[in-house]
Amino acid sequence: MEELTLDLDIPQQLGDEVDPAAEDTQQVTALEEGQVVDYITGKAIKETPKEKVRQRIARALVHEHGIDPHDMARDFPVTVSAEDAPRKRTKKADIAVFESGAPHTTANLRRVVVCKPEPKRGKNVVKLREPEDAQKDLDELKELLGNEDRPACADGMWTDGVDFFFLKKVIGGFGAAFEDRSDWEVADGTIGSRTVASHQRLRRADPEMLKTSFRRCHNYIHGNEGMSKDAAFWQFLYLLFAKTYDERVSRGTGRGRFRTGLKEMFEEGGRAAISARVKELFEDVKHEYKGVFKPTDEITLSDRALAFIVSELAPYDLSGTDIDAKGIAYQELVGTNLRGDRGQYFTPRGAVNLMVEILDPQEDETVLDPTCGTGGFLQATLNHLHHTWQKAEGTYGFPDTDEQRERFRDRLQVYADKHLFGSDFDPSLVRATTMNIMTLAETTGNVFHMDSLAFPRGHLPGVELARKAIPLGKAVDVLLTNPPFGADIPVSDESVLGSFREGIARSWGRNKETGELEASATSQPGSMAPEQLFIQRAIEWVKPGGRMGIVLPNGILSNPGPTDEAIRRYILEHCWVLASVELPVETFIVDANVNILTTLLFLKRKTDQEVRNHRLGTEKPYPVFMAVAEKVGFDRRGADLYKREPNGDIVVETTVEMERLRIRGKEVTRPLTRSRPVIDNDLPVIAEKYREFRVKHPVPGVEPRMGAEAGA
């Protein structure tokens, strides 16, 4: 092992830049090209398409089923024989699971997994198969499970990362029979102890498997029901909302209605019973959340499709699953289905997290995203608070205990109800964000359907509530936004532009004699790009002393034209500049297919006195943090980008993750050492360097007074 220590110099004056091409001290080793660290053995192996599936499943067996990695083996040889073949032969189980703590022998084999490469799909949805369509594949799994000669090896899984099939071997008077299951049973205690708990004991979701499950649900509806992607998406969201609601109302009462038995989905009567339960549940959801759902909203899926979705989601304890995992899965699915045509470029997760980390919203602060899209900034705020509470209790990096999970969930719910706000012009995005918050905090939060540029006027239904809750300049402590960009979506409505005529929305030029910037007294622009107006609106919305982060095209901050210069002067007059972080072009190519350079600008609104000081020229110079991110963790194609040694080898870091496992009948938390390639991403480094910068250089300007208007 080689220990590397790298330092970055922090700029202290406006105009200096940071190149964060380094990372904090860590232990590293190297992988050869095309290698990955095996989750079961910890050794370097070749990353083939099949291996990608096996690694995903191995991790899920640990995180979701609580199986000790030491009780697993890869490529375990199993002696098999067919009825029409007198000679025995050997096949390998891609993943073998043994009785807990027992030697890895055939006699101790309890579960087997067959993994295949994920099918190539391009941009197409792969139609999911039913068990009867996959008999050849299931015959391979049956061979590994064996007959009555190995009665303890009873559970099998076949997967290619898209299709998942589960078999249960049942020994009867006529030998072994294999029954289709929707999942593995959850063993309460040592695997193979034959003490099996109810299937309804829910499990916390592994992030990658939750994404896979969400995607499978959507693909089943789209590919197997013949629905459009948009219709399939909303059907899935209805069911996800129902699942979250069912967990909340049935907590502590036993079995909820969003459930399925292990065999129920394979029987016509069972599928009908699932459908009846869930449709009744959805009617209760519509009644409870009249502001989110319309009376005409209904679940139109066939009983077969509905049973499939329920079988996918029912085993998960969404309320107990880490909110970051839920948010990642939700955002990935929503982002691929709700990309709009009005410049709605959904902000990449890394940039969102950096903005939230730098602004550091607190539990008593009101947060607003006036162009919330699918709720990425609001989701990240909830996740940030959760991590803040864990750090305060010294448990960050550990799974929450049951007591913490319940307590943190209640705090997030209170925060979302009182302090979390969003708005959007698109009613579909308003609904999507509302459902996102419900999934994360078990409440709908406060998401308004309105035009934020027209606020506090406007005709859309969310305006009246927003006027009371988040009036301009009085309620918002932290504003985060990625406004729509582009000259092809100009704002030309005078009822909107009129609000900005005293600020940015003027015709700017230069005095022919002095060369000084000045506004025209005789003309005014008939339209402006929305991102230009959103700068003024965002500043007006936060209260004096409030903080804001906004995604902007680089041109506004660097173009020499008089309009862009006037915007920069407006910013400097009304705000303290906290930080500026330039992003590489890859940032938005992958998520929005837009080749655009952007900057994250962080500001703090000045008080009235501070604005007067600026105009009088008595404002003192202050340091500004500036950084340029060269890497954001992926390339232009969206492939992961790894750090490399000088010889080209991929750098690997060894980390210790805290895993919560059920070992020999007891739930324990223990360290699990894992090695993984290091993603080449400058954004976390920039966040850390900003915190160091603020230790040396406090935030400029006075702090807002509690309970009073700081600018009064």
Give 661's pLDDT tier (boundaries 50, 70, 90).
low
What pTM did the predictor assign?
A: 0.80
Give 82's pLDDT tier (boundaries 50, 70, 90).
low
Token readout for 425 is 């012009």
For residue 631, pLDDT beyond 90: yes
Segment 119-138 mean pLDDT: 76
Please state whether beta strands 575-583 and 598-605 pair in parallel, antiparallel, or not at all (unpaired).
antiparallel
The more confident residue out of 294 and 363 is 363
Give 710's pLDDT tier (boundaries 50, 70, 90).
very low
Segment 377-397 mean pLDDT: 93
Distance (Å) of CA 83 to CA 87, 88, 109, 143, 167: 10, 10, 22, 10, 19
> Letter for the amino acid at 277?
R
Instruction: Identify the pLDDT of residue 361.
Output: 98
Alpha-helix residue ranges (DSSP H) falling in 225-292: 229-250, 268-288
Token readout for 251 is 């907590």
Instruction: Identify the pLDDT of residue 250.
Output: 84
Q: How far apart are CA 655 and CA 532, in angstroms?
A: 44
For residue 112, pLDDT beyond 80: yes
Judge contact between 345 and 486, C-beta under 8 A. Answer: no
Bridge partner residues of 111 (DSSP): 97, 155
Bridge partner residues of 369 (DSSP): 422
Q: How far apart are CA 219 and CA 213, in angstroms?
A: 10
Give 187's pLDDT tier (boundaries 50, 70, 90).
low
Judge contact between 452 and 470, C-beta under 8 A. Answer: no
Residue 611, classed as helix, strand or coil, is helix
Residue 58, classed as helix, strand or coil, is helix
Segment 322-343 mean pLDDT: 68
Segment 574-583 mean pLDDT: 97
Dihedral of alpha carbons 516, 517, 519, 524, sign: positive
For residue 550, pLDDT beyond 90: yes
- The set of residues, in sequence order, having a beta carbon less than 8 Å from that of 352 and lying 6+ positions away, is 376, 377, 380
The more confident residue out of 587 and 667 is 587
- The set of residues, in sequence order, having a beta carbon less than 8 Å from that of 123 and lying 6+ positions away, is none
Q: How far apart are CA 116 and CA 336, in angstroms?
A: 26
Judge contact between 547 and 578, C-beta under 8 A. Answer: yes
**Complete edge-to-edge strand list for the sheet that includes strand 2-4:** 2-4, 26-31, 650-663, 666-677
For residue 435, pLDDT beyond 60: yes
Segment 247-262 mean pLDDT: 79
Q: How far apart are CA 445 and CA 462, in angstroms?
A: 13
Instruction: Identify the pLDDT of residue 591.
Output: 66
Please state, for a pLDDT cut of 90, what percent of the chain lies above it: 46
Q: How far apart are CA 516 and CA 29, in angstroms?
A: 58
For residue 267, pLDDT beyond 90: no
Residue-wise pLDDT for 450-497, tens only, equals 999 999 999 999 999 999 999 999 999 999 999 987 667 889 889 899
Instruction: Identify the pLDDT of residue 193.
Output: 31
Distance (Å) of CA 575 to CA 390, 423, 455, 540, 611: 33, 23, 21, 10, 8
> Picking from 74-88, 220-234, 333-347, 685-699, which range would have the lowest pLDDT averaged per residue?
333-347
Segment 243-251 mean pLDDT: 87
Please spell the DSSP secondary structure of 459-508, one letter per residue. SSTTHHHHHHHS-TTTSEEEEEE-----TTS-B--HHHHGGGTTTT-S-E
Q: How far apart are CA 36 and CA 674, in angstroms?
A: 11
Instruction: Identify the pLDDT of residue 338.
Output: 62
Residue-wise pLDDT for 482-539, tens only, equals 998 766 788 988 989 989 998 998 988 888 888 888 888 788 898 999 999 999 999 9
For residue 387, pLDDT beyond 50: yes
Q: How far apart are CA 160 and CA 151, in angstroms?
A: 26
Segment 326-352 mean pLDDT: 70
In the block, residue with structure tokens 């896979």: 212
Residue 161: DSSP 8-state: S
Instruction: Identify the pLDDT of residue 22.
Output: 35
Instruction: Identify the pLDDT of residue 440.
Output: 87
Give, for 111, the enclosing helix (H) or strand (E): strand 109-115
Q: Comparing C-alpha atoms, which of 32, 218, 53, 210 is closest to residue 126?
A: 218
- The set of residues, in sequence order, having a beta carbon less than 8 Å from that of 707 and lying 6+ positions away, is none
Q: Comparing C-alpha atoms, which of 207, 204, 311 is closest to residue 266?
A: 311
Token readout for 675 is 């090695």
Instruction: Identify the pLDDT of residue 30.
Output: 63
For residue 662, pLDDT beyond 70: no
Residue 95: DSSP 8-state: E
Segment 118-130 mean pLDDT: 70
For residue 123, pLDDT beyond 70: no
Q: How far apart are CA 108 and CA 101, in angstroms?
A: 10
For residue 2, pLDDT beyond 60: no
For residue 646, pLDDT beyond 50: yes
Judge contact between 138 and 167, C-beta under 8 A. Answer: yes
Chain-wide mean pLDDT for the chain? 83
Q: How far apart are CA 397 and CA 655, in angstroms?
A: 11
Instruction: Identify the pLDDT of residue 584.
Output: 93
Instruction: Identify the pLDDT of residue 7.
Output: 28
Give, for 168, the enclosing helix (H) or strand (E): strand 164-172
- Select the highest-mean-pLDDT range: 189-198, 218-227, 287-296, 683-692: 683-692
Give 352's pLDDT tier (boundaries 50, 70, 90).
very high
Segment 333-352 mean pLDDT: 68
Instruction: Identify the pLDDT of residue 302.
Output: 93
> Picking from 2-6, 208-212, 278-282, 685-689, which range would have the lowest pLDDT averaged per residue?
2-6
Instruction: Identify the pLDDT of residue 282.
Output: 95
Alpha-helix residue ranges (DSSP H) falling in 317-426: 323-337, 349-359, 376-392, 402-419
Segment 42-57 mean pLDDT: 90
For residue 700, pLDDT beyond 90: yes
Instruction: Identify the pLDDT of residue 29.
Output: 54
Q: How far apart are CA 384 and CA 362, in angstroms?
A: 9
